A and B are shown apart, each in its own frame.
Chain A
Amino acid sequence: MKYIIMMNTMRAGHGVPEWAQKDLQAHIAFMISLNKELQQSGEFVSAEGLSFPDQAKLVRAGKDGLPVTDGIFPESKEFLAGYWIVDVDSPERAYAIAAKVSAAPGPGGKPLNMPIEVRPIMSGPPPEML
């Protein structure tokens, strides 16, 4: 079964984190090794990192159907920072991966314990019942 594991940026309108160099490096190394681990375990489907929220635009169709773009709104609390799609044997396994992401190292090497959203991905029609 497939799950999406979503990580949010901690604050909207906030760009590059101002961490110490070694903390940044530890965080990056953690993410790279997590991806490798998921690939090696055969659970990795895809993962993408998104640009910082200040690159985001809100788009609506105008009266003529043409796009009307707007900047993002600073009052928005959270923005998607990136996601993993994994194919795992149980929901517990997806939660375990999410917990790992949540505990990614932050300033001073302390776990960030970020809230991570996990949701099942809908599948195609079930096999015929015989």
Chain B
Amino acid sequence: MTKPWDATSEHLLRELAPQVLGAVSRRFRDFSSAEDAVQEAMIAAFTQWSEEGIPDNPRGWLIQVASRRLTDQVRGEIARRERETAVARETDIIVPTVEIESDMDPDDTLILLFMCCHPALTSSSAIALTLRAVGGLTTAEIANAFLVPEPTMAQRISRAKQNIKASGMPFRLPSPQEHSERLPAVLHVLYLIFNEGYASSIGAHLQRLDLAREAIRLTRGAKGLLPEDAEVTGLLALMLLTDARRAARTGPDEELIPLDKQDRTLWDQAEISEGIELLTATLSKGSVGLYQLQAAIAAVHDEAARAEDTDWPQILALYELLKRVAPSPMVTLNHAIAAAMVHGPSNGLELLRTLDNASRLADHYRLDAVRAHLLEMVGDYESAIKHYQIAAGRTMSIPEQNYLMIQAARLAERTPS
């Protein structure tokens, strides 16, 4: 009995990937090889199922195929060793037996998530490994999403696994203490995947895999595994509340449209309501973290039907809270914008001055972009033009650069020269 392959099948395959990998890793006690074997099984499934239909027990099928690959590999390894030592013995090689119908351990996916976001990894390799091992994506898809050649991505993933192996981390759930120490790194990786997708969802790369959607899917999964953790839910809410504006943030020529100029009827109301619902549920639990606060700020923006209806005093209060919970120059920068909207642009400009000596941000284009915007608000066009131009020269995003150059040009036309 098989089920025909349809539009949802690829999703099913990806959802199964971490469960299969968890089961195979536990049986063979070798995460790195298991991960390669599961990737091969996934590719085999994709080819075979799309032609012949999905087997009755797709998970069992995948576990069996991956295990067979690993078994073959173990046999080959032993045979090679025997040839080398010239010991020709007839031995039955013992390989772990695989019970196809065995129960799945939902903790497996969680173990994998913590493993892939291991502190020994750089963020780029943690991202790649998470997408493959937990997200069930192929190396080719991940390479395509980051616009790098496939062998480069394969190498990045294989080095990440070597680092994990070298760290000697066992395949088990982190202790409660490790859990709370390492969860922020896990959430950060998911957040980076989302941002990569959101930032690159513009322009010439329409054929790219949608990383923002993948991040939402992975975070949804993480929320299912850690339903009591307010920050996991907060992160999911933040992603939904941000992603909701996607259709409105670029124009027909791929130009960037800032929040206050967006056509808000294009915002995805279903994502907004889900985000707000999730966020409300976490806030009733008492603790308030970095992602919940950012989600709350996004929610206030999303709730305004028109830009002029935005509840800036509430946003300002939330940034003040965020400054206490997770202070950073970037938070101060955003706080200055909110302060300008509530108390006037001079107040915002004054707050920006405190950042001029913050080394991490002093040369960052965002500081010049915000300063230009506030200078325009106070009517100092000449300085505003200068800062729009500096910002345009410093940003590493072409759509953003275009946007900033156009702001400078627009103001120059208003200034009698």
Contact = CB atoms under 8 A, between A and B. Distances in A.
Interface in B23-81: none
B412 interface: yes
Interface stretch (B104-112, B122-130, B388-396): B388-396
Contact of A24 (B203, B398, B405): B405
The number of chain B residues touching the other chain, given as a range, is: 20 to 34
B253 A20 contact: no
Interface in A13-31: 15-21, 23-25, 28-29
A15 B393 contact: yes
Interface string B345-381: 0000000000000000000000000000000000000
Interface string B398-417: 10001011101110110000
B268 interface: no
Given A15-B389, A21-B410, A28 B204 contact: no
A38 to B, nearest CB: 10
A12 to B, nearest CB: 14
A16 B410 contact: no
Contact of A25 (B203, B406, B408, B412): B406
Pairs of residues from A and B, 9 with the lowest C-beta to C-beta distance, nearest first: A21-B409, A15-B393, A16-B389, A16-B392, A52-B393, A21-B410, A28-B402, A35-B204, A24-B409
A121 to B, nearest CB: 15
Contacts of B405: 16-17, 24
B394 A55 contact: yes
Contacts of A15: 389, 392-393
Given A21-B406, A28-B402, A47 B204 contact: yes
A7 to B, nearest CB: 14
A18 B409 contact: yes
B255 interface: yes
